[in-house]
Each structure stands twice: as structure tokens, then as C-alpha cells.
């Protein structure tokens, strides 16, 4: 039962969430007494590709041509399906992302595979192949028995902390046949949303709400984010008011994120907001109203005025 891991690139580097998927896949290979191979699509140098070995994979298949430079769910699903066939893989692991969302259902259809998304633990193999997944925006867990011959696991970010070794993987070039049907949707170019750090991938997030009063005050949020090397996020009303771009809106109707640290500044903590952030590892809430609902979900709370607290926090972080 060999394991194939799809590792996503960001500007030629393996994304952090994919490092977690590589380590997770290598652990599944260990559990099942087989080997782990990675498939990486797009431009990256050999040393980066071989570095996938740090997380436990022994071999990397590298598919790269001009048509595959831009992430494309359809074409990438075809490439991964071809790799599954070549390697005879029975388990496919990938990190949950918008690209993964565009790939997984197609891949499951092509391979007639069982699919579990938002997986949060290693599989339980004591009685078949059972995986635990997070559902209802983190409010509940489902236990899925995957009975199909081929199984696809889309791993939720922060599920596993990768351990690294000095090992490197061998790198083989991989050139499956692609045809026009794989490029019915063709991605011409892509550009990053605002901010130094990409929000869906960020480990640290500084987020702000209507308590900031207006877009002209976002400098204090960005200063703290910059000092922490964090991404910025916001509540829905803030993006509805055009104070911040919609790409920063988190919650039930926005991005669902699970960073290690989420700092909420001047956000009340409505359930619709919490739906997007409540699986963050540590939540810090700054609000001048000690009765704000967000404090109930906070690991640390600061009752205070953001215009006073944020600059002091930034100064303290810079002094570290």
C-alpha cells in the first residue's frame, strides 16, 4: 500500500502545509510498512525538491513544463492520477488548500477513490482504515471508514508537527501525457493578495474589526503584523465597508484559518466570525469591552483600547 504525497509549491518552495503533508504521508507509510513518494508540480530547483526527503519521503517525482507553471486543479489532478498509476499508490495525501479543493474531487472521480477532507489525525488501522476529520467549521469531528481501494486524505493545517532529518530524496522527472481536456480551464497568471505573509498559510495572524473605527487606522495593525512576521485579517463588516480587501475576511462566509496564534483586535467575537478562526491554537483577544463574547474563546485576553494596546505590544515585540 504505497503512499503518494502531493506537495504544493509557493514561488519554488515547498509550502509549510505541504511539509506537514509530507511528514504525515511518511508516517502513514511507516504505519502500513511501505514507502512514501512525493509528487511535486511546477518550477523548483533540485535541492528544494530533494529536501522533501527531510520529512521522510524517499523519492520525488517532478512534473514541470510551461503549461504547469500556474496551479491548475484539472491538469494537476491528471498529473497526480498518472503518478498514482505509475507508483501503484493506495493512499494519497495532500494539504488542504484552495488548489487541493480544486483537485481532490476530480482525483477521487478519476481513481474511484474514497476521500476524507480536513483530516486531523493519523489513520486508525486497527479495524480497516478510519480517519478523523474536522467538520462544521471545527465544531465537531467525523470518523470516516474509507473502504475504497484507493484513499485520498486532505490534511488540515497544523494537524501534525513535522520532524526533520538530514535525509534527501531522489528526484525523478515525471512527464505524463496531458491533453486539451486537462486545460479546459487555463490559468493565465496569478498574483498574491495583499500583505507580506499569505493568510491561509500564516502561522501568526493579526486580525482587526470595526473597533478600529476606519481604514486610516490600520497602520497599528500592520505594524504589529510586520513586527511578528504575521498575516493580517479582518472581520466581515470591515471588508464589506471596503476598509480591507475581501481576501482578508475570515469567518463563516470568509476564509477558515487555523494559525498557531490569532490576535483579534476590536472584534466582538460573533459566532460567524469564530467559525473561521476557532481552530487557531492560541487566541488572544484585545477589546475595550470586558463583556465582549470573544473573551469566552480566548486563551489570553487584554481588556483595553486597541489604540493604546497595539502600539505598546508592537514596541514590546520589536524589543525582543
- Residue with smaller CB distance to ligand FAD, 58 or 217: 217
Does 209 contact ligand FAD by CB under 6 A?
yes
CA distances from 220 to 128, 137, 306 (A): 52, 30, 9
Residue 118 Rama label (left phi>0; alpha psi -120 to 50; beta): left
- Residue with smaller CB distance to ligand FAD, 162 or 304: 304
Residue 309 host element (H or E): helix 306-318
Minimum distance, C-beta of residue 310 to ligand FAD, in the bound complex (Å): 9
**Cα-based angle 256, 260, 261 (whole degrees, multiple of 5):** 90
Out of 214, 289, 312, 316, the only residue in the binding site for ligand FAD (CB under 6 A) is 289
Pick from 17, 11, 23, 55: nearest CA to 202: 17
Note whether 53 and 73 are within 8 A (CB). no
- Tell me phi and psi for residue 316, to 5 degrees: -65, -40
Note whether 261 and 203 are within 8 A (CB). yes
Does 268 contact ligand FAD by CB under 6 A?
yes
Report helix, strand or coil for 223. helix
Choose one: 100-108, 111-119, 134-142, 285-293; the region binding ligand FAD (CB under 6 A).
Answer: 285-293
Does 246 contact ligand FAD by CB under 6 A?
no
- Residue with smaller CB distance to ligand FAD, 47 or 290: 290
Minimum distance, C-beta of residue 226 to ligand FAD, in the bound complex (Å): 20
Site string for ligand FAD, 155-194 (x = CB under 6 A): ----------------------------------------
Does 235 contact ligand FAD by CB under 6 A?
yes
Does 236 contact ligand FAD by CB under 6 A?
yes
Out of 41, 199, 228, 267, the only residue in the binding site for ligand FAD (CB under 6 A) is 267
- The answer for residues whose C-beta is within 8 angstroms of residue 219's C-beta and 6 or more apart is none
Known binding residue 273? Answer is yes
Residues binding ligand FAD: number (CB under 6 A): 26
Note whether 178 and 138 are within 8 A (CB). no
Residue 136 host element (H or E): none
Q: In terms of residues, how long is the chain?
A: 320
Out of 305, 312, 315, 318, the only residue in the binding site for ligand FAD (CB under 6 A) is 305
Minimum distance, C-beta of residue 307 to ligand FAD, in the bound complex (Å): 6
- Residue with smaller CB distance to ligand FAD, 77 or 205: 205
* DSSP state, residue 156: P
Contacts with ligand FAD, residue ranges (CB under 6 A): 209-211, 235-238, 251-254, 266-268, 270, 272-273, 276, 286-289, 292, 305-307
Amino acid at each position: 500500500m504505497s503512499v503518494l504525497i502531493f506537495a504544493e509549491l509557493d514561488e519554488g518552495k515547498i509550502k509549510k502545509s505541504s511539509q506537514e503533508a509530507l511528514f504525515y504521508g511518511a508516517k502513514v507509510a511507516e504505519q502500513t510498512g511501505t514507502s512514501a513518494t512525493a509528487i511535486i508540480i511546477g518550477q523548483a530547483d533540485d535541492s528544494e525538491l530533494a529536501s522533501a526527503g527531510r520529512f521522510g519521503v524517499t523519492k520525488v517525482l517532478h512534473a514541470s513544463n510551461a503549461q504547469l507553471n500556474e496551479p491548475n486543479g484539472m491538469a494537476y489532478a491528471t498529473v497526480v492520477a498518472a503518478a498514482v498509476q505509475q507508483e501503484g499508490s493506495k493512499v494519497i495525501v495532500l494539504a488542504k488548500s484552495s488548489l487541493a479543493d480544486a483537485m481532490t474531487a476530480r482525483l477521487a472521480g478519476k481513481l474511484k477513490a474514497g476521500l476524507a477532507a480536513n483530516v486531523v489525525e493519523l489513520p486508525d488501522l486497527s479495524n480497516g482504515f478510519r480517519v478523523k476529520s474536522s467538520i462544521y467549521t471545527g465544531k465537531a469531528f467525523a470518523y470516516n471508514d474509507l473502504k475504497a481501494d484507493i484513499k485520498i486524505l486532505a490534511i488540515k493545517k497544523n494537524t501534525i508537527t513535522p520532524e526533520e532529518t538530514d535525509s534527501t530524496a531522489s528526484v525523478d522527472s515525471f512527464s505524463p501525457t496531458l491533453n486539451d481536456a486537462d486545460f479546459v480551464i487555463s490559468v493565465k497568471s496569478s498574483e498574491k493578495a495583499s500583505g507580506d505573509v499569505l493568510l491561509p498559510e500564516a502561522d501568526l495572524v493579526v486580525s482587526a474589526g470595526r473597533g478600529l473605527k476606519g481604514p486610516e487606522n490600520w497602520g497599528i495593525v500592520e505594524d504589529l503584523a510586520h513586527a511578528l512576521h504575521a498575516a493580517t485579517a479582518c472581520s466581515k463588516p470591515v471588508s464589506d465597508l471596503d476598509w480591507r480587501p475581501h481576501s482578508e475576511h475570515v469567518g463563516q462566509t470568509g476564509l477558515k484559518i487555523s494559525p498557531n496564534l490569532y490576535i483579534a483586535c476590536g472584534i466582538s467575537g460573533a459566532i460567524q466570525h469564530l467559525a473561521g478562526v476557532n481552530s487557531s491554537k492560541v487566541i488572544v483577544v484585545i477589546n475595550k469591552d470586558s463583556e465582549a463574547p470573544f473573551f469566552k474563546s480566548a486563551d489570553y485576553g487584554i481588556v483595553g483600547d486597541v489604540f493604546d494596546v497595539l502600539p505598546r505590544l508592537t514596541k514590546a515585540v520589536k524589543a525582543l
